[in-house]
A and B are shown apart, each in its own frame.
Chain A
C-alpha cells in the first residue's frame, strides 16, 4: 500500500485495517514513516525495497505520483495495480495493462470487498448484486 499513513484517522489506515481483518497481508510504503510499523507491519520507503512477492499495489497517492509507482509495480512482478478513490492516470494504466497487469482506478478495495460480500448493503448502498442464494456469514 503506497501512501499508507501511520495516522489512525486517515483513509489508508481504514483500508489497511479492514483488509488485514479480512485475511490479507498489507505492506505499507511511506518514506516519511520508513522503519516504523503500521498495524504491525514494517514500513518501507519504496516499493523496490520490499523483499516479499507482491500481488497487488494499492496507490494512495496523487495522480502525478502514479507513473513512477506503476513502473516499480511492473518491475516487482505485481499482478494488479489499484488506484484509490479520486486517483486516475490513464497513460500509466495503459502501460501497466500492456505489461499484463490488471488495473483498477478511482475505487477502494475496502468498499469493493464489502460490496461483493454483502457488508456494504448494511449501509444502504446499491451493491448491484441480485441473488436468491443465502449470503455468506
Chain B
C-alpha cells in the first residue's frame, strides 16, 4: 500500500483548501459566480435536488459556488467537517442557535463578549423565546452552576473583544459535554492561525469573517463551522436534527447525513428561512484575504506585542490589558490556547480619563478612528464616547469600557510609524 502523504500545512491549506481550477475555463483564481439561480438538467434532476437526494446548486440564497469555496476553506482551517457562510458575524451566531434552539430554551454565555453579541443574545434573542444567561468565565465552574434542564449550549469567545479575556476552553468543553450541551466558540479575534478551538473540544466555531479572515476591512461576512463530532442523538435536546423535518418530506438530518447533519441543515433550513446569505463578491474577497492570513497574523501579533510593551512603559498610560504581556492575568492561558500570539486587539487606560481619551482619538494621524477591528490599517476607538456612550459610567466600567479606556486594533504598517503616531497623539492628549 502506498504511504499516506503528510497532511498539508496551515499555510498550504489557507491558499488551496476548497479551491481548484475552474473545470470549464481553467481559471486559477476562484471565479465570482454572480448568479441567483442554476438550470436543472430535467425535472427528475430538479426533484432530486429539491429532495436533497443529490448535490448541486438550486438558488444562491442556499448555496453558491464562490461561497462554497470559502465554506470549505474555513472548515478546513478550523479542522471542522463543514461550514455555512453567512452575511455577517451576527448572522452566523443567529444561524448557529437557530439550528437547535426552540422557544423556552436556554444557553449560557460568557459575560465578556463583543458588546454587540451581548445585545443580540440578551435582547433580540428574547424575541424568539431564547434565554441567555451570562456568567463570569474566569471561573469555568460558573457555567456548571448555571446549567438548568432547559439549557442546550455554552458560548464563549476564545479571545474576547475588546477586554482580551481568554477562557479555559478545555475545561469549559468538559463541563458542556458532561451535561450533553453543545460548546460554541467565537474564534473571530484569534483566527484559526492562532487558536484552534476544536482541538480543545469546541463543537461549533463561529466567526465574523469581517475581521481578520477577510482582513482588509472591505467585506462583511460570517461563518459557522461544525466539528461533525457532536452526537445529536445523545439526549432529546436536538430534535431539529434528529426528528423528522416536515418541510423535507420527514427527512431526519442526523440519520440521513450523519456528521454532515448540521452543515446540510444550515443551508437547507437555516439559510432557506433566515435568508442571511453571503454575497459572492464578499466570499471572493474573503477567500483572497485568507490566502495571506498566516503572514498577516504573524505581523499583526508582532506589531501588537511591540505596541503593548511600549505603552506599558509610557508615562501617559496607566494600564495595558494585553495577554501577551507577562503581567497579564491571562498570560498562562494565552500560552496554552494562543501559542502564536495574543492577537492584535487590546485596550489600555490613558491618564486623564474621558477628556484625554477623546483628545487622543482626535490627535492621531495614522490610526483610523472607527468602530471595527482586524484591518490591515491600525484602528482606534474610545468606547465611552462612542460604542458605549448610552451607558452610565458604572455600566461602562462593568463592560470594560470605562472613561479612560482606549481600544486599539494594531495593523500592518511599519512598527516605528504605529508607535510614533501613538506617541505624538498621547503627547497632544497630555497637553490637553
Determine whether A53 belongs to the interface, using a CB cutoff of 8 Å to chain B.
no
Contact A123:B20 (CB < 8 A) given known A11-B255, A111-B260? no
In the complex the two chains form, is B263's CB within 8 Å of A123's CB?
A: yes
The answer to whether A121 and B53 touch (CB under 8 A), given A9-B249, A135-B21, is no
Chain B residue nearest to A18 in the complex (CB): B54
Instruction: Kindly state whether residue A31 has any CB partner on chain B within 8 Å.
Output: no
Interface residues contributed by chain B, number (CB under 8 Å): 47
B65→A126 contact, CB < 8 A: no
Bound Cα distance A9, B56 (Å): 18
CA distance A131 to B259 in the complex (A): 24
Residues of A within 8 A of B51 (CB): 8-9, 14
| Pairwise interchain contact B63-A85, C-beta atoms closer than 8 A | no
Nearest-neighbor residue (CB-CB) of B76 within chain A: A126
Q: Which of A14, A106, A136 interacts with B256 by CB under 8 Å?
A: A14
Which A positions have Cβ atoms within 8 angstroms of B?
A: 8-9, 11, 13-14, 17-18, 21, 85-86, 106, 108, 111, 114, 118-128, 130-137
Given the contacts A9-B251, A114-B55, A133-B21, A124 and B48 also touching, CB distance less than 8 Å? no
B82→A124 contact, CB < 8 A:
yes
A-B pairs, top 7 by smallest CB distance, nearest first, are A124-B71, A85-B258, A119-B55, A126-B75, A125-B82, A9-B249, A11-B256
Pick from A126, A135, A136: contact of B81, CB below 8 A. A126
B10-18, B134-142, B173-181 - interface stretch: B10-18
Q: Is the CB of B84 within 8 A of A118?
A: no
Once the chains bind, are B23 and A135 in contact (CB under 8 Å)?
A: yes
Q: Which residue of A lies closest to B75 (CB)?
A: A126
Return B243 CB to nearest CB of chain A, in Å.
14
B8 on interface, CB distance cutoff 8 Å: yes
Residue in A closest to B13 when the chains form the complex, CB atoms: A130
**26 interchain pairs (CB within 8 A)?**
A8-B51, A9-B51, A9-B249, A11-B256, A14-B256, A17-B54, A18-B53, A86-B258, A108-B258, A118-B20, A121-B69, A122-B55, A122-B68, A123-B267, A124-B68, A124-B267, A125-B260, A126-B72, A126-B83, A127-B72, A130-B8, A132-B16, A132-B21, A133-B20, A134-B26, A137-B23
- Of A9, A86, A120, A125, which is within 8 A of B250 by CB? A9
Contact B56 A119 (CB under 8 A): yes
Measured CA separation A132–B259 after assembly (Å): 27
| Interface mask (B249-269 → A, CB under 8 Å = 1, otherwise 0) | 111000111111001100100
Interface residues of B in 228-260 (CB under 8 A from A): 249-251, 255-260
Greatest chain B CB density within 10 A among A11, A106, A108, A123 is at: A123
Chain B residues, Cβ within 8 Å of A132:
16, 20-21
Taking CB atoms, residues of chain A closer than 8 Å to B54 are 17-18, 21
